[in-house]
Amino acid sequence: MNTSPDTPQEAPSDTSSDTPAAAVARPHTPSPARPSRVTVSTLQAQKREGRRIVMVTAYDYPMARSAEAAGVDAVLVGDSLGMVVLGYDSTLPVTVDDMVRHTAAVSRACECVLVVADMPFMSYQSDVSEAMRNAYRLVVEGGGHAVKLEGATATTLEAVRRLVGAGIPVMGHLGLTPQSVNVLGGYRTQGKDAPRAARLISDAAALQDAGAFAVVLELVPAELAERITARLDIPTIGIGAGGACDGQVQVAHDLLGMSGFLPRHATRYADLSAEATRAFKAWADDVVSEAFPAESNTTHVDSATVAQAESLAGRGEVR
């Protein structure tokens, strides 16, 4: 999942705006008090009970703290960090070391929410044993509670089975799978014709049968996502897949106005980029005008101490 990630494919529609007023209200079952720790079983119970699942990306300690304080159910440490944090033009250059480092930062911030870590490009596609080793690092070194894999190839499905069998929960990801962007020909909606839609239905069932506890549906037509959701016992979490999924996930930087491009599926709830620029400029102006640092920002020592220090330094008596 990315930010300009999830869609440089279609021009934003009139239903996307920079204000939350554009979000369409949707009836749902209110969430009860949060459990002490959200687990994969919690999310599966939410599907059964008709309670919407809320997941958002986070890549560092302060962002994860804010997400947990807001009451989200899960935080996804997405390989989208390659685009929104590291400045790459795709998710492909992100490494396992990158993901372990950022997952560790997020997991240190999260006391209650489920932390899901993306397995980056080529960390699981070529060899199941390698997938096991890399997932182990994300859980043990990174502190993640689950990992997310894209697609439903034979190798990926075997990796899901082996990881679940080893005790590592796995979230699937279908539709637009950004790690396959070069094969897909860009960031485009998937499953718009009957054969490709049938493949997504089949792949979702295969992921469930392999042991995945949930599946992300990215850039999938709403009608298809609704049918997949109805057919599965495990939760679906949509991004650009309509409102019938069991939950929703978005890239935090899109919600907060920190990415230059706003995908069609996202709504901007703040403009932190503009606010940060304003704050940096105000501080820079204060430095230039010598208004900063002020007296309240300053520590003093008496002149006798300074004179004694200069004398000691001059005689080479510094210890």
Same domain, 182 and 304: no
**Which residues, other chains included, contact 28 with Cβ-Cβ below 8 Å and sequence gap of 6+?**
50, 51, 52
Domain extent for 140: 20-270
Say what the pLDDT of residue 188 is.
79
How would you class 272 by CB atoms within 10 Å of its CB: exposed for 0-12, middle for 13-18, buried for 19 or more?
middle
The pLDDT averaged over each successive group of 10 residues in the chain (319 residues) is 43 39 43 76 98 98 98 97 94 96 98 97 94 98 97 96 98 90 71 95 98 97 98 98 98 94 93 97 98 97 96 87
**Which residues, other chains included, contact 280 with Cβ-Cβ below 8 Å and sequence gap of 6+?**
none
Same domain, 104 and 232: yes
Tens digit of pLDDT for each residue in 10-26? 333 333 344 443 343 34
Residue 154 lies in a domain: yes
Same domain, 200 and 175: yes
The torsion of the CA quartet 276, 277, 278, 283, rounded to 10 degrees, works out to 90
Same domain, 118 and 28: yes
Same domain, 49 and 82: yes
Residue 181 lies in a domain: yes
Residue 282 lies in a domain: yes
Say what the pLDDT of residue 182 is.
62
Residue 1 lies in a domain: no
Give the CATH number of the domain where residue 63 resides: 3.20.20.60
Say what the pLDDT of residue 190 is.
85
Say what the pLDDT of residue 35 is.
64
Residue 118 lies in a domain: yes
Same domain, 221 and 288: no
Number of domains in the chain: 2
DSSP the chain: --TTTS-SSSPPPTT--SSGGGSPP---PPP-SPPSS--HHHHHHHHHHTPPEEEEE--SHHHHHHHHHHT-SEEEE-TTHHHHTS--SSSTT--HHHHHHHHHHHHHH-SSSEEEEE--TTSSSS-HHHHHHHHHHHHHTT--SEEE-----HHHHHHHHHHHHTT--EEEEEES-GGGHHHHTSS-----SHHHHHHHHHHHHHHHHHT-SEEEEES--HHHHHHHHHH-SS-EEEESS-S-SSEEEE-HHHHTT-SSS--TT------HHHHHHHHHHHHHHHHHTT--S-GGG-----HHHHHHHHHHHHTT---
Residue 319 lies in a domain: no
Contact 154, 116 (CB under 8 A): no
Same domain, 243 and 308: no
Same domain, 56 and 141: yes
Same domain, 304 and 234: no
Same domain, 160 and 309: no
pTM assigned to the model:
0.86
Say what the pLDDT of residue 317 is.
83
User: Among all residues, which ones are annotated catalytic?
Assistant: 218
Residue 68 lies in a domain: yes
Same domain, 239 and 297: no
Same domain, 225 and 309: no
Say what the pLDDT of residue 16 is.
37
Of 252, 270, 288, which one is at a domain's C-terminal end? 270
Say what the pLDDT of residue 183 is.
67
Residue 166 lies in a domain: yes
Say what the pLDDT of residue 36 is.
83
